[in-house]
Structure 1
Amino acid sequence: MTEEQRMQRELRSVRPRHDDPELPDDITANDLDRIARNELKTLTKENAETVGRHLAMAARVIDENPQLAHQHVMSAARRAGRIGVVRESLAITAYATGDFALALRELRTYRRISGSNDQLPLMVDSERGVGRPDRALELGRSVDRSTLSPSVQVGLAIAMSGARLDLGETDAALVELEIPQLNPNTAFSYSPELFAAYAEVLTELGREDEADEWLERASRADAALGAPGDTDETIEIEEMDDDDEYFAGNSGDDDDDDDETVAAGEAARVVAAAGLGVVDQPAANDTDDADDIVTETVGTAETDDEIDETPAATAASASMIDTATEPDAASPKA
């Protein structure tokens, strides 16, 4: 045993206790989407099932109980701390509970693992949460926006606008939102939030009539997107292949109860990175590695010299997908 291994073993005895929250019998790893399940296949089968169940449960309860969702993701992270979707989910639940310092730390780790900038809006908003709007703007400008998907561009614009408001730069906050997606004649999934954010800044500028117009457009876009029958036109059929049998042992009656499915791709993250190159290990080793990583993350967030533990004004209470890609201009500090 090396000196480093000996020290890690000694530290385990003084780590904070973490009790796994209860998992209901009806939740399985098959409740996750295929991309997330593929990432978990780098773990042993038994460990992948447990981690997947905790992630699916977190997605199920985050709206009504963000703290419980965070506990479930913590349990997943202690078992699979080197998996991108797990670290991303930990960041999202930390954000939802108002722990912006931890969210930022985990988002940095997720970006290193995945190479993805899809969570850049949440990173910018987390910088706001720890009281650094200047750093938020710097971070948002560090990436070429043309490389981002339209929805991520919108989320980034809203977060950048919020940072401008934090600094009292209301005119600049409006400019941040004047992007090609600010089109009142078309409605996409991100349109209601973008229109509402634009209306909020117009209100700050005293342009009440224009603000009312954009609020009405936001309402119409939201209604159009949620109109009955819209989702009945196209049905996505996902056939089960050999890889899906990895989790089939505990699948229960998933095929008969599609309404209970929780898509991790829409609830636990935006995009999961593939090909992480993590080899399969015994379950005990998976747990030990994750324990080391997550304990350092959770236990030492306040020691990171880049994180200012400024209390957040409000905790995000939106769903995991909403917090991941479309932070509201008023969150967390506006």
Structure 2
Amino acid sequence: MAEAGNGNNRDERRSNDEGGQRRGSKGREQSRGRRQANGSDRGDRKGGYRGSKGKGRGKGGRPGQGNRVRHDRSNPYREGFREERMAQKEREPDLPQDLEITDLDPSVLQDLKVLSKDNADRVAKHMLMATDLLEDDPKLALDHARAAKNRAGRVGVVRETAGVVAYRAGEWKEALSELRAARRISGGPGLLAVMADAERGLGRPEKALELGRSPEAKELDEAGKIELAIVLAGARHDLGQHDSALATLQRLNPSLDSQGFEQMRLSYAYADALLATGKRDEARSWFEHVAKVDTDGLTDAAERAKELG
């Protein structure tokens, strides 16, 4: 994560959710995103990959099922599907020759084993490129993520990565579509905070709040609940409901004795909410607390505390 930003700033919020799935080898450690933090890792999955011959697709998943098959664009039996897929592959961005797929997290590589060896290798490399380019060239990163999705659209972690990369690139609608697909495939709460924030990006804070009331929100671990609460507080700010934003964060019991990155982010958002409700002195105390915890200078808490001094 790049910084613990204000819940109202989408550029800062976009930096709070990593799309990387890389393992920390060769000094290039990158996060696996929120797969573990939000409780959506393999151990929590209820579904998973259901094969490549129509299982799990419900009605219309096999030949001879009428218009439903023809109009389902993801259905391999649809007329023109093969031609479209070949055209997509021809438009794929180039891949460097020196990519090592062992840089991917082992659990991701395990998920890709449902594919043919050559296809799994290409998908893995596109996922690596999507991760590496995310900060410097989010558009090209998204092209790689889309290429991986086109080759492995029934693998949950591939759809999840595509969703996070789309989110970081500001493609809110696409991010929601991909993350919803990942949840259908893999089960669990998924990247609920990212989905809620994408709803905010689309100007739909009410939809973000609905996600916060969903049953899946109760399945999140502590880090996931903090991340979601920060987004929900931002949605309340979007609606001008600053007192409600403060109350949303208070439910997580922020403490001036807290330590750690997630708690630091919670404290920053809480300070911001206090300021929005006119409680300047309290806000300054919380910004000062964040500044003490933030030894790496990830936030502007010290400057904000000084401004209120």
What does residue 291 of structure 2 align with? 219
Cα distance in 2 for partners of 1:63, 1:116 equals 28
- Mapping of 1:230-241 within 5 angstroms? none
Q: Deviations over 1:6-62 (max 9, x none)?
A: 623487399779722222233221111111111011111111111111111211121
What does residue 233 of structure 2 align with? 161
CA contact (8 A) 1:54 1:73 kept: yes
What does residue 140 of structure 1 align with? 212
- Give the SS at the match of 1:7: coil
Whichever residue aligns with residue 83 of structure 1, its letter is V
Q: TM-score, normalised by structure 2?
A: 0.67
What does residue 89 of structure 1 align with? 161
What does residue 171 of structure 2 align with? 99
Cα distance in 2 for partners of 1:178, 1:188 equals 18
CA contact (8 A) 2:163 2:178 kept: yes
Q: TM-score, normalised by structure 1?
A: 0.62
What does residue 138 of structure 2 align with? 66
Whichever residue aligns with residue 271 of structure 2, its letter is A
The share of aligned pairs that are identical, in percent, is 38
- The answer to whether residue 264 in structure 2 is matched with residue 192 in structure 1 is yes
Range with greater deviation from structure 2 (214-223 or 56-65): 214-223
Shift in Å, 1:216:
2.2
Aligned residue pair count: 226
- Mapping of 1:49-60 within 5 angstroms? 49-60=121-132
Whichever residue aligns with residue 21 of structure 1, its letter is P
Shift in Å, 1:186:
2.6
1:26/1:195 Cα in 2 relative to 1: closer, same or farther (>3 Å)? farther
1:8/1:184 Cα in 2 relative to 1: closer, same or farther (>3 Å)? farther
Shift in Å, 1:209:
2.2
Could you list the runs of 5+ residues in structure 2 that have no partner in the other structure? 1-62, 71-76, 299-309
Shift in Å, 1:145:
4.4
What does residue 276 of structure 2 align with? 204
Whichever residue aligns with residue 66 of structure 1, its letter is P
- Mapping of 1:284-295 within 5 angstroms? none
Q: CA RMSD in A?
A: 2.6
Cα distance in 1 for partners of 2:109, 2:85 equals 32
1:14/1:83 Cα in 2 relative to 1: closer, same or farther (>3 Å)? closer
CA contact (8 A) 2:179 2:195 kept: yes
Could you list the runs of 5+ residues in structure 1 that have no partner in the other structure? 228-317, 319-334
- Give the SS at the match of 1:186: coil
Whichever residue aligns with residue 205 of structure 1, its letter is T
Shift in Å, 1:189:
2.7
- Mapping of 1:115-130 within 5 angstroms? 115-130=187-202
Whichever residue aligns with residue 46 of structure 1, its letter is D
1:10/1:30 Cα in 2 relative to 1: closer, same or farther (>3 Å)? closer
CA contact (8 A) 1:29 1:51 kept: no
CA contact (8 A) 1:51 1:80 kept: yes
